[in-house]
Amino acid sequence: MDRHILSQISSEQNSENADLESTVFFDISVRVPCKVGSLDDMALNLRNAVMPVLAEQLGQFMIKVDTLIKDSAERKKDGYLVKENDIPRTYTTAVGDINFTRTHYRSKDGGYVFLLDKVMKIDSRERISKCVAAEAVNYAAEMSYQKAIDRVGVNMSRQTLKNRTHSLKEVVADVPLTRTPVKELHFFADEDHVNVHGNNGKKSVMVPMIVMSEGIDKSNPKRHKVKNPLYIAAYKQKPKVTFNQLYAVADRKYDLSKADIYVHADGGSWIREYKNVFPNATFVMDEFHITKRFKELASFFETETISKLYDCINHNDKNSFYNTFVKAPLIQRINKRQKSKLIEQLSFFMAQWTGIVNRKVLNVCGSCTEPMVSHVLSERLSRTPCAWSERGLDVMAMLRAYRANGFKVTREDINTSIASKKQELNVLKKRKETGYEKYEKYFTEAEEEIEKWFKEKYCKNVPDTIIDVSGGVQQFIKRISSQGL
């Protein structure tokens, strides 16, 4: 019926041209007094004058379509009976609010329907179009809900935009299967600390983020940038799930068998999970944290002692570093509180020694974990004094990473129904165990590929207990090699 009705409108306008079927023309003539001034003022005046005219034209078009449906012989043949006429409706679109009336019908099976909504492909209960909602959600990733609404310029409440954001479908970057050969692959891992609403007020939670990159592009000496970055936010995910999905993404995009893998981080506990997925990867301490620690030591040690400590790192002499640290002249004259701070500093250097030496000795690209977390996560999540709900933080972290990867939310990503609290909790629970659905699918495909390869190479009847690929292909090969297979 929908194609028949729209074709009928088109044929009324263009009876001589069959190629224009289902094409509708709007005749718009607007005389706008526009005082010559700045270009911005002129553009604003024109927009304010034209948009209401466009909205009115679309409203009249909707009324005309509703009339054609009512008069259609096909409608009567299908058994739709008129229940009520001229029911008003306001629908917010990209050109503003459209006001029109529609007819309510009773179908032959006893149900009720607005045929105009069905023909024009809009939800009967929806007040705001998905295109407008998607545009507002994209702005909400960069600014507050109110500022996003003001930027879109439509009649929408902050609660409505919040509901649309919370009900957003999963949006993560799609990674085609290419397995491109690459010499080096770098993972920059860090986290943001964000306030969320808890039962006893605000509490601080951690939002991890990993950036996969081919290194640093230094072609522009004034502005270095990361090569082909892929951002993954991992709020509420178990570390094992996060790195398994990182492996699945990396395995699709790059040939990992020929790549030297480096993990740049601050040595946090969740980051150590990389060893189980990428056992051959090299950990490199983030330069920011090394510099920060030495600046703190500068208030306790003389310049000569600091230089000796740097020399010990450059020569990979852990014992000399320890002896130089504990036998420093000033360390005997500090109070108990200062000593506890120094013990914590020494513990850091001893625990993270390999990563610190790798940063100073190996010829690897610089680390930029802190700036990337600041720009991608902190700018929206924690830089202002606000607190998030669990679901709001989950969606916004995912959305910020999605936008950083160069994608935009579209109408297909907007859910019509509003998620209930129970549904939101179920999403968070599932995210913790399995991560993102798309990346979980990638990982399942990688598991199947490894299992197929192993059975073809060795034997067809292999116990499932041996084929455990939960840690990725490198860990799997390491495990079977230790079993003499």
Give average pLDDT by consecutive 10-residue segment, the chain, 485 residues.
Answer: 57 49 64 74 81 89 90 86 92 90 90 89 86 94 93 89 91 92 94 87 90 91 90 92 92 90 92 90 93 88 90 93 85 77 90 93 88 93 89 94 95 81 81 88 83 68 56 56 57
Q: In the structure encoding, which two tokens stand for residue 19, read together?
A: 């190629």
pLDDT at 18: 43
Q: Is 61 exposed, middle or buried (0-12, 13-18, 19+ CB in 10 A)?
A: middle
CB 211 within 8 A of CB 229: yes
HEC string of the chain equals CHHHHHHHHHHHHCCCCHHHCCCCCCCCCCCCCCCCCCHHHHHHHHHHHHHHHHHHHHHHHHHHHHHHHHHCHHHHHCCCEEEEEEEEEEEEECCEEEEEEEEEEECCCCCEECHHHHHCCCCCCCCECHHHHHHHHHHHCCCCHHHHHHHHCCCCCHHHHHHHHHCCCCCCCCCCCCCECCCEEEEEEEEEEEEEEECCEEEEEEEEEEEEECCEECCCCCCCEECCCEEEECCCCCHHHHHHHHHHHHHHHECHHHCEEEEEECCCHHHHHHHHHCCCCEEEECHHHHHHHHHHHCCCCCHHHHHHHHHHHHCCCHHHHHHHHHCCHHHHHCCHHHHHHHHHHHHHHHHCHHHHHHHHHCCCCCCCHHHHHHHHHHHHHCCCCCCECHHHHHHHHHHHHHHHCCCCCCHHHCCCCCCCHHHHHHHHHHHHHHCCHHHHHHHHHHHHHHHHHHHHHCCCCCCCCCCCCCCCHHHHHHHHHHCCC
pLDDT at 37: 73
Cα(226)–Cα(223) distance, rounded to whole angstroms? 10
The string over 269-298, giving b where at least 16 C-beta atoms fall within 10 Å of a residue's C-beta and e elsewhere, is ebbebbebbbeebebbbbbbbbeebbeebe
pLDDT at 478: 57
Report pTM. 0.83
CB 208 within 8 A of CB 233: yes
Q: How many Cα atoms within 13 Å fall on the side-chain side of residue 280?
A: 17
CB 216 within 8 A of CB 233: no
Cα(349)–Cα(470) distance, rounded to whole angstroms? 32
Axis-axis angle for helices 130-140, 158-166 (nearest 10): 90
Nearest to 320 by CA among 363, 357, 355: 357
